Structure 1
């Protein structure tokens, strides 16, 4: 009986429960979810003209010009090809700067065209005369392009055009991060860094980083910052890296030695080397400026004219104001009795140079088919163009660009040194009869092997040997130290002991 009752109750309850579940008030219900509306980012409004594709370009206030004023092109072009029709990518190049920069800076452009930075005629004529040239050239652009190499001078001309002249205003530099720069006026006045133009704002007063795009390696400028380039051989190029990476912003690693005392005090290159000197006022077509000397500042006396326009007299002291930071520095005057004793016998750098460049035996080989494995230990060459061909030989053979015209021709120029030192400056008597620091700048040895592996020229050098050494001014000044006479007495005839 109870079993039947339970069965009947169950039969009644099940339909009631189903009915309750179907009733809207007995369960929580949610309206169907609508798909979330997708938010779309507002599309940037493309600016008309050049800035539509180059929004990062910002000019300085003195050059608030339309892009086409210098670069030409077509700002209304709808495609890249149309916009770049007639484009001038390097309007400051020496071949175009007269029209581009000269429209506003006619005097500066006219003087700069004959400056040492543009013509490099001192360096060019120095090397050419050492290998047989009889007449000087006015500019590097006049270096002949030899069709065949039949004389030592032909070989030297080929060396200059295709290997040496990477640091001049006709070239945008080598392929290392800190050797890339603009051309012409832009080489100094447009800032570059890490291989690219870092700003389109022109700088009236370039920082040292601009100078170092050219004055790197074992040349004056790098020494001012205490840099001495490592040897090319891989054993000498520390620190060693196990991950395959390299840190060669200037082509070759460098030793960090003592910087020049003027650099340590906060002076930049342009604090001594003014625009008038660098851009033709000194040694150029414009007004000649007197060359800056050590004694011009440190030997100054009341009543004498101030040697530079960033010098002034304050409280009876000669004070220099740095051009980049406006830092005031009191210029110390000569007080040690040795200055009076040796002033006419020795240049200031003989005692005050902390170190100097001494690269002896610079060997340069022109070769059509280099034995790549044999040069593996000298794979770093200070030339990206050469290094790439040593690392990855092309099946079509080797070639180098003419650094003035950009035209390539067969063969490579490979380089190596016998000895690279800085410890003991070379001291000798200069043309003025005074002691100077010397460096073996013409200790060059040129060789040539043709495509048939025939030796055409073997170890051509400058004779007599003493002509390989020339006086120069190391930019490594510091205190003379207690043993300065050890540099003077062995080299001055009147100071030698009988």
Structure 2
């Protein structure tokens, strides 16, 4: 027993000595005395070198436009003082009011042709609406008369519709306030790329000021919203009512690059093959120098001599037709029109009657000009592919701040005026393709693009100047070419047999 007690006492003593050693190891060590650090005197930063690049060093240009900034934007390139450098500067040098003096110095001929094209003047779009309401045609969108107060006549109502609602995409404006819709003006509308209203950054994070051949992004910045162009991409706007939106309902802002949620339908077969708008529609065509391209210009019947010279990137190699699209290294074989139906219905049935996969079929477009600040009836229709309407409805419905007055900017002059345009549709469908015989006796695809119903109400919601469901001269059906090309179905003739002479219909039925 004594032996065990001795061992226990020895073990306890060793533990105490161990603890002491451990405490010595972790005991804090007093910090060394701080040594004085010599302060080095630095000279003040030198002022930036004179010239635009001293402040705008991240701007990336292309080799063809590697010019001094002042060659186009004016200003003073000999100073580093911001106020002095910007004296007399032209921020939007490619805009319509400046492009002749800037872009025109090197591109005078192209500028002249472009300025006369319907893409620039918008004469086709303007006159389709004006003539539908029995108004005289104009040469340019800038000739649409600008009203001051609420419209009192049919012409004043139609002009206000054009200037503040319809003409939101043209080279005189920068487009609506959506990420993929905002663009430059004048030459920059097509030849510079913007995102969220700013020059798109390059891979190096620099604002890309390179003038480029227009691509899909540039074309769709105007050709969106159930117009030819978005169908090529397989995009169809969902209806305005919030029950069609995804998610169904939310107060969290939703990213809509083109202003509305979109149905993703089948894109055009040419788009699926990697082609873009300019592979068919050349700059010369868009500038009005060449006629519009037709399907037979590529898929010509007969021998290779039928290939149209209007397609610059198409050529014949014996009996083969070869096409080289932009960005491809190799040429592609273009299929010929070998099916007997092409010869049978040549010059009588338009190609898309058989080959269109779907069409724009928005029936009865209702347009209301309202001077009332009551947005309650429009809560479910706040998203209308118009950032101005969306902002107005959202604010007056949900904001705790004072109501804002309804107003829209004039899309040509930029002047903001009282009144806001709402849009709605009786029905929006894509599956029912309208087939009719045109005035030239050719069977074509039609759409009710001018099926317009105009109304106007004052501040109290009362009908203004008898403008209640005002319609045009007819039902508004116009022929068009849906860019939804695909294989013709097995029963392609069923689309247009009812428009053929009775004897042909009987023959087709027997076959």
Range of TM-score over shorter length: 0.7 to 0.9
Q: CA deviation at 1:31?
A: 6.5
1:430 corresponds to 2:431: no
SS in structure 1 at match of 2:232: helix
Q: CA deviation at 1:203?
A: 3.5
Indicate the residue corresponding to 1:354 in structure 2.
Answer: 357
Alignment coverage as a number of residue pairs: 462
Q: Could you report, residue by residue, the CA deviation over 1:61-94 in whole angstroms, capped at 9, with x for unpaired residues?
A: 1011111111112234554333322121111111
Q: Cα distance, 1:338 vs. partner?
A: 1.3
Of 381, 388, 391, the residue aligned with 1:388 is 391
**Is contact 1:132–1:152 with CA below 8 Å preserved after alignment?**
no
> How far apart in 2 are the matches of 1:490 and 1:39?
93
C-alpha distance in 1, partners of 2:217/2:189? 11
Structure 2 matches for 1:246-261, cutoff 5 A? 246-261=254-269
Distance 2:423 2:251 in 1: 27
* Aligned residue number for residue 160 of structure 1: 162
Equivalents in 2 of 1:270, 1:185: separation in Å? 16
Question: Partners of 2:456 and 2:434 in 1: how far apart?
Answer: 30
Question: Which moves more between the two structures, 440-449 or 365-374?
Answer: 365-374
Structure 1 SS opposite 2:298: helix
2:422 to 414, 428, 432: 414
Match of 2:130 in 1: 128
Deviation at 1:339, TM superposition (A): 1.2
Question: Structure 1 residues 28 and 421, CA, compared in 2 at 3 Å: closer, same or farther?
Answer: closer
Q: Distance in 1 between matches of 2:273 and 2:86?
A: 47
Gaps of 5+ in 1: 1-26, 282-288
CA distance in 2, matches of 1:44, 1:486: 79
Match of 2:57 among 51, 55, 58: 55
TM-score scaled to structure 1, two decimals? Answer: 0.87
Quick one: distance in 2 between partners of 1:307 and 1:116?
19
**How far apart in 2 are the matches of 1:460 and 1:327?**
55
CA distance in 1, matches of 2:298, 2:451: 34
Partners in 2 of 1:244 and 1:452 — Cα distance? 31
Aligned residue in 2 for 1:293: 294
Correspondences of 1:442-457 after superposition (within 5 Å):
442-456=450-464, 457=467
Deviations, residues 344-380 of structure 1 (Å, cap 9, x unaligned): 3210000000000000110010010142111100000
What's the offset of the Cα at 1:492? 2.4
**Inter-partner Cα distance in structure 1 for 2:252 and 2:46:** 42
Q: Does 1:213 align with 2:254?
A: no
Secondary structure of 1:188 counterpart: helix
Instruction: Compute the displacement of 1:399 (Å).
Output: 1.2
The change in CA–CA distance for 1:461 and 1:37 in structure 2 (over 3 A counts) is same
- If the length of structure 2 is used for normalisation, what is the TM-score? 0.85
Q: Is the 8 A contact 1:205 1:323 kept in 2?
A: no
Tell me, yes or no, if structure 1 residue 183 matches structure 2 residue 185.
yes
Q: Is the 8 A contact 1:205 1:324 kept in 2?
A: no
